[in-house]
Amino acid sequence: MHFKNLLKVSCFILLSLFSLQSMAQTVVTGKVTDSKDGSGIPGASVVAKGTTVGTVTDVNGNFRLSVASSVTTLSVSYVGYTTKDVTLTGAPLNIALDPTSTSLNEVLVIGYGTVRKKDATGAVVKVNAGDFVQGVTTNPLQQLQGQAPGVVITTSSGDPNDAPTVRVRGTTSLSGGNDPLYVIDGVAGADIRSVAPSDIESFTIEKDASAAAIYGSRAAGGVILVTTKQGKAGKSQVTFNSYVASESPEHLIKFMDRNQYLSAYQDFYGHAMPTGTSTTSDQGANTDWFREITRTGFTHNENLALSGGTEQGHYRASVAYTDQDGIAINSGRKDLYGRFNFDQKTLDNKLLITMNVSGSQTNSLFTDKNAFLNAAAVPSVIGTMDPVNAGYYQYINNTQENNPIPQLVYLTNIGRQDRLTGNLKMDFNPIKQITISPYANASHGVNVTNIYYPPAVALSPVGGLLNAVGDQFGYTPQLSNHGDVDKGSSDYTNKTYGATVAYKDEFGKLRLSALGGYEFNSFDYSGFRVGAHDFNDIYLPDENIGSANSISTADIGSDRGGYQLKSWFGRAELNWNDKYYLTGNVRYDWSNKLGLNNQSGVFPSIDAAWVISNEDFMKGVSWISSLKLRGGYGQIGNQDVIGPYLSQFLFSSGRLYYNGSLGQFVSSSSPVQNQNANLRWQVNTTTNVAVDFSLFNSRLTGSLDVYSEKTNHLLFTYTVPTGSTFFVNTIVANIGSMSNKGFELSLNYKILSKSDLTWTAGGNFNVNRNKIVSLSGQFAGLDFNVTQANVGSTGGLGISGQISQIGYLKVGYPIGTLLLPEYAGKDANGNQQFWKYNADGSRTAVTDVSLLNYADDGSTQDRKFYTTDPKFTYGLSTSLTYKQFDFSIFARGQYGSKGFNETYMDYTSLAKLGTYSVLADASKLGIKSSSEPSNYWLQGTSFLKIQSVNLGYSLKINQNRYIDKLHFYVAGNNLYTFTSYKGIDPELTTAGGQTGIDSRQLYPRSRQLSFGVNLTLK
């Protein structure tokens, strides 16, 4: 009996202990995320409600907490977010917190890490998928256009195969390397067109040196970090997005139609234009040549993605396809993308493995843009078809013009580009405070081109209808007119491996984080081309090169090269009580691109921030939700402007010569480039001061940045004397300097925020002042005193030599400065006049430009300098949701800019009637002399573009077993441009020496109308 009672008591104690043990080991897991973008919130507090038991989330927002079985609710909080109570369900929790100050609590992807925007100290801006430009976006950069202050994306061509020009806070180099560094899911230097626009979750732009210094010599043009969409914990999800669009020219220049042309001819010459079959007579046609070579194009896009995951791992796989017709006949582009993103935790959540693999293939049908020049030149009274030889296109050869249609119809100019990228990263936490992250990635690409010219006799019995075009190596062949082929191939392989060690900890009110790392990059490339001629007039697009009758050494070329970049880098961040922040970055780069005496460089930066709104004296200021002052200083380099062998003494093979001792012809070699052992990186030094604010309970948010940037050791090509030191009369040296100064303002306002109605508006305003500070200095004992240099020119019938040289680099002036004669009106006979200045300061109107003094420095005043850059650029947007409807409109523009209208200069003169086309405005302008470059053709290029308008509707899906979301929309892109500019498009190129000059070979931009659907399956 005693034993039996003892056994009962023992069993009761054991059961009680087991019960207590069970309560102590009830484990709750989950993830705390931002309700807007789904990003994890590190450092969030998770507490069992009514107790003191709690934990904080890790760097990815995940948590693991043991609680008593009696606990039913968790309280989750984080600074800047609304506290949320969550009921335990027994399953892993996904807790989304609502920001109380959304714009200041975003998670920003930065170099080798992340940071919340409220903790950021540098000039960093994030653009989320919800803010992207909607509608037809075949290039990822179109989604970003006009959305980020200080980032100017210029689309000066409508060709699907052309890339926009991107400038982050202006132009910083004279020799190239102005494009930003693209980092896609941690892969630096990735091709931005290798990722499908629909796969992108966000862009993060690092604009100043203090933010971008961690990337060292690759970040002079700024850094754009691209984050692709990832899987989320929970049930698997299938998404399908698709749109179809029509495209047509947004604007074309008006030339005289048949009636206008014949009337103007009668007025100018005093008699009717002769009729006949020649190309200088009236053939009875009324041809709109631009309409003949353009069309309504169609674009369609499909994207299918499968995603999902658990608390331990996530995955997302996607495939996308875009087929875009160009608005020019026989032009277009097709892109196929595939991407797989995966991450998995293991070793009790101490190891996170992340893997991304992506591939893409682009098939291009290229356009010879000279077709647009020819379309402008040929009169409307000339027909497209040969009036004598039926069935053939007409052969036109009046010095400057050709029939543009055969060049687009018969010329085969195709290319294919294959890209494959993979990256692997492991984040290991041996202890809570330390993360060790080795990583590796590689990219490989192959580009194949094929240009085929049919035999001339197969196209016309009169003459060759086709003109030679340059291939990917820049080589333009001499055509045999008996069938010609130009084939080429190039490939690249980029490899990166490295490791970082990160440390994070808290000491009372002090938060400390530090990161150190090493990285090795190798870049290798190769290519070849071969041309073949004369295939016995056989019309076969896929000619066998071996059957050609003519292949010369000039038709064969190849190249191979590469370089390496080794780097050590570090970052330290201090945060005292969420009030005072200090961040320091440093990177050491070594590259064999550079001269032997300057192969390494150190790029440091430092930032500080003060969150004024967290001070005790601000507690009573209720209308300020958040107020932060920040500033930074740093240096970054520019290695992209330097070719791998630019510092070395180079030879090139030349002509054959007869070697008497050998009794045969041998190839000669001659120097083509001088050695420069002192060649070094250009260095950009920037200072940035800014304020971030959130007002009126976060209804109004924004930021204001003021910056100053100077580029030193500017690369430029100088003339040197040949002799014992130099074997070639030019050398590229680091001598000059350039500056960019400006400010950026961005604002976002929640106008209405109700349960079934929201209305928001936003905008950004940007001012940048570029100036060339110096082009002079010393090199190898030589003094270079350069105050200006010609870099750009215009063209036209009879315009060449010094008269055509209008684009200049000028000390004290910005990039895009033009040097032009001053227009003095017309004389009584309709001849253009120009002001010629005399020694005493008086001036005389002359009609002969050869009488002007064309001194490059403009000192005679016969030519004056004019700037073309805008006074400011801006973007405006508003979005509205009402129940299931959503509407958005986005516009962007610039003000105070100018452009030289080459087309107007070349086709305004009435003296061209009878041979060339003339603008519809020509009779009104009344210019009867040949056109010459002057400031008369300098026109204002200020504009406001209605970039996109979007109207959508989401169907109500009530407890459908399969469909989670179904959304339809219609959209318009590049709908209308408000401008006084008379050219095709006021958005002119900002690249190279042609900045500010509107070329006649411009592929018109298109207006796009689309219909799309977004479908999400459960």
> What mean pLDDT do residues 834-863 have?
86
Residue 102: its pLDDT value, please?
47
| Consecutive H or E run containing 846 | strand 843-846
Among 371, 380, 373, which Cα is nearest to 410's? Answer: 371
How far is 197 from 337, CA to CA, in rounded Å?
Answer: 10
For 243, the token pair is: 């749109």
User: Do residues 317 and 339 touch, judged by C-beta distance below 8 A?
Assistant: yes
Residue 849 has pLDDT above 50, yes or no: yes
Query: Using one digit for the tens of pLDDT, what is the confidence trace for 362-372?
Result: 999 999 888 99
Residue 8: its pLDDT value, please?
45
How far is 204 from 971, CA to CA, in rounded Å?
Answer: 25
Residue 48: its pLDDT value, please?
87
> What mean pLDDT do residues 984-988 have?
91
What is the percent of the chain where pLDDT is above 90? 52
| Consecutive H or E run containing 714 | strand 700-719
Residue 732 has pLDDT above 60, yes or no: yes
Query: Using one digit for the tens of pLDDT, what is the confidence trace for 234-271?
Result: 778 899 999 999 999 999 999 999 999 999 999 999 99
CA 380 to chain CA centroid, Å, is 38
Where residue 60 falls among pLDDT bands split at 50, 70, 90? confident
**CB-count exposure of residue 983 (10 Å: 0-12, 13-18, 19+):** buried
Where residue 23 falls among pLDDT bands split at 50, 70, 90? very low
Where residue 408 falls among pLDDT bands split at 50, 70, 90? very high
Three-point CA angle 506, 512, 518, nearest 5° = 135
Considering 80-84, 387-391, 805-809, 940-944, the range whose residues carry the highest mean pLDDT is 940-944
CA 723 to chain CA centroid, Å, is 43
How far is 637 from 751, CA to CA, in rounded Å?
Answer: 43
Query: Using one digit for the tens of pLDDT, what is the confidence trace for 557-594?
Result: 888 899 999 999 999 999 999 999 999 999 999 999 88
Residue 25: its pLDDT value, please?
60
SS3 for 103?
helix
Helix, strand, coil abundance in the chain, percent, nearest 5: 10, 50, 35
Where residue 665 falls among pLDDT bands split at 50, 70, 90? low
How far is 692 from 612, CA to CA, in rounded Å?
Answer: 10
Where residue 108 falls among pLDDT bands split at 50, 70, 90? confident
520 forms beta bridges with 497, 566
Residue 657: its pLDDT value, please?
61
Q: Given the DSSP bridges, would you call strands 823-826 and 1006-1017 parallel, antiparallel or unpaired?
A: unpaired
Q: Give, in order, the Cα–Cα distances in Å from 805 to each of 174, 180, 817, 857.
A: 17, 30, 12, 12
Return mean pLDDT, the chain.
88
Residue 1 has pLDDT above 50, yes or no: no
Residue 83: its pLDDT value, please?
77
> What mean pLDDT do residues 446-460 have?
89
Domain limits, the chain? 23-97, 789-867
Where residue 7 falls among pLDDT bands split at 50, 70, 90? very low
Residue 104: its pLDDT value, please?
53
Query: Using one digit for the tens of pLDDT, what is the confidence trace for 927-978?
Result: 999 889 999 999 999 999 999 999 999 998 877 788 889 999 999 999 999 9
Place of tokens 């674009």: 299
Residue 756 has pLDDT above 90, yes or no: no
User: Do residues 255 and 380 touch, judged by C-beta distance below 8 A?
Assistant: yes
Where residue 311 falls among pLDDT bands split at 50, 70, 90? confident
Query: Using one digit for the tens of pLDDT, what is the confidence trace for 123-152?
Result: 888 888 888 888 888 899 989 988 888 898
Residue 101 has pLDDT above 60, yes or no: no
Where residue 396 falls among pLDDT bands split at 50, 70, 90? confident
Among 239, 252, 244, which Cα is nearest to 308's? Answer: 239
Where residue 424 falls among pLDDT bands split at 50, 70, 90? very high
How far is 200 from 578, CA to CA, in rounded Å?
Answer: 31
**CB-count exposure of residue 363 (10 Å: 0-12, 13-18, 19+):** middle
Q: Give, in order, the Cα–Cα distances in Å from 460 to each of 277, 706, 952.
A: 16, 62, 52
User: Do residues 127 and 147 touch, judged by C-beta distance below 8 A?
Assistant: yes
Residue 5 has pLDDT above 80, yes or no: no
Residue 19 has pLDDT above 50, yes or no: no
Fold of 23-97: Immunoglobulin-like (2.60.40)
What is the percent of the chain where pLDDT is above 70? 94
How far is 234 from 30, CA to CA, in rounded Å?
Answer: 11
Residue 72 has pLDDT above 50, yes or no: yes
For 545, phi then psi, to 5°, come to -55, -30
User: Do residues 168 and 181 touch, judged by C-beta distance below 8 A?
Assistant: no
Three-point CA angle 589, 593, 594, nearest 5° = 75
Where residue 449 falls among pLDDT bands split at 50, 70, 90? very high
Least confident interval from 213-217, 240-244, 668-672: 668-672
Residue 353: its pLDDT value, please?
95
Q: Given the DSSP bridges, would you call strands 885-895 and 872-882 parallel, antiparallel or unpaired?
A: antiparallel
For 809, the token pair is: 């680099």
DSSP 211: H
Residue 15 has pLDDT above 70, yes or no: no
**What's the one-letter identity of residue 727?**
F
How far is 610 from 627, CA to CA, in rounded Å?
Answer: 9
Residue 667: its pLDDT value, please?
67
Distance between first and last Cα of the chain: 63
Residue 18: its pLDDT value, please?
37
